[in-house]
A and B are shown apart, each in its own frame.
Chain A
């Protein structure tokens, strides 16, 4: 596998792409159609039964017969012979355009992208000018000057379409020249030309082939269009010109339409489908490989044996004081992600927990342990492809797991609040902060606009934002990360929920801001008596905030109990290793073995 991933050898990769394409039915169909077209184009008039320009007045618009299997056109010329000859001309014309565009676009893109400077500026301006005009208008204007020549028209069209290659090569070169291996190549004394040839061209080769398929399709369409307008040389048979002849005589000989349209449509469709298939293959190749590797890795670590018992510790004095009313109960929860090949990968392997009313419950584990997946399952908002495959989630008497959106409607956002990890990406950049606070209040609680705004402003003040009105009117990118997280906390508590799900609420923040946000969360929790499921990888945060904690590893719960018990007498080796790491990172402000909560009691 590594040889595939790391070998940029052009030939091997191309063979690989072709081999992969052949396995796709759509791509295979396209390749077959295009092969037929190419063979016909190569043989062209040589296999034609008649001279394509030989007119026979007695056969004007004749229907198909034994001698003339596709009939004759308005000049009595053999349609089959003209079709064969036209294929040759049409394909040759398309090639002229592609080669022109390739040479101009690739060379200009390489020079502009690699050397920058004035050439880059000029080329970009030229691109803008060329793209500001519809190609066909330019082609018609050219015709006004130089008369009708299909070959010259195709050279001009090649120039017009060269920005497609220019942009592709330019952006690839710009990206590649930042890479360290280019610097390395330069340091080791390779000339610019060799660097370009070796590294840049190998990167852009596949996209260029794909682009060429699209360009070929466009060229055939434009060329057929021009010829259809009757602007071509009348002695040169082309698909477009045959179409013109057929359309003019549509009432008298409708059968003439079929063959040229079929040739144009099939060739264009085959080219586009092939380009699409190539794009899919090129886009897919990397992620699939990565995904497979991850799958393999997962298979190694996940123990297929029945889930080991969770080490559960009994309540201590502090946690026993929380009323034994279960707000959230998760039982045997399993979460899996569907894969494109129809299989699925399980990431949570049957976990159970209960959170009591007013309890702050920490869920701790390293990244990838499945703790966020557990939290999203409670919210019913697993990412695309993810689903709860087994188990139950009971929230205050309502079954949520597997429940429809209806079950969630009165709960999510009103009785369960959510505080995300990364503040900036969790606010919609296109709407003001105020709008994002007011909208859920109006939708979820049915408040009026004025009420909702007043409440939002009060909440912003409550979470410690100095100028609530200004923040209310601001867009997310105009405030700091700490401010954004306060906004999200304000949003989560705005409906006075019974349960807050906080997914690593401080991880993305600066250390000083982390402490402030933790203080805010603690105060809000105490003030409103909300239960909280706090997902974190940091025992410092757990010690600071939580009553009880559950330790998660590889999609399973391994240890659970009151925070103080776990801090003092961890039993599972994984818990111990997490506790050891507390010394290395995070704001572990409470003395080891005491919780902050307890210290204040």
Chain B
């Protein structure tokens, strides 16, 4: 292509600011490398941390949050910030999943997926087509979902109506099934984001929504589809969580909403949209699980573990912010 070998210099040479920026980048990179090294040293010096059994424990504990966080990644990249209705959605879908066990595992899974897709997809359609604020909308939705779930279940825990669910608790090769599912889904979501027109539109819409509208990208549809996908992933988390607990009530989701947000942010996905990836989220989930594990093995209390989780998120968000600010200066 002769276009690719155009010799003309089209732009002014890098300004002095460019050199300052690269110095700042070096400082940031050094900090990141030091932090990673510190984590490795602390990890290796922790008794029983660097064992296969412990690695399995870490990735298993990361898997349920990780799958939900993959769903949230789609929402965040598309510029809809976060969904605060993850835990209630997972609880409601989990209850549905267990009470549908009498139909068999596969129909119950299908019902769970449908449920998750509908609940979350409706919210996505409102965000996409009516430009609703996702935070406000999902707060409202989480009350509505919880209320509905309590209303239908009468506030009681739902017991499984069959035993098909137990297949989800299988551990082929000594590793929980949810781990395999997490990895397969992470690859699938990553591929969708990178290699499809939908993925590319999602990044562009997240980066600049008004510009996407002017460019004629299907803003409403793409946003709605991203939320649909997120709903399906929430439903997968719900099925695994319910199967693991063998019963489900409205508190099944627990702290999942914030755990998923933490995993997305710790992976370095920008809350403002337009940046991030599924593999980053996977890394974020594993990072948080790994650090929690170190603290647990070293005998720190739950309070410390939670606090450190917050500090990790803060650290990564600040680093990501500094880097993107640098590249835009």
* A joins B in a complex: no
User: Interface of B with A (CB < 8 Å)?
Assistant: none
User: Interface of A with B (CB < 8 Å)?
Assistant: none
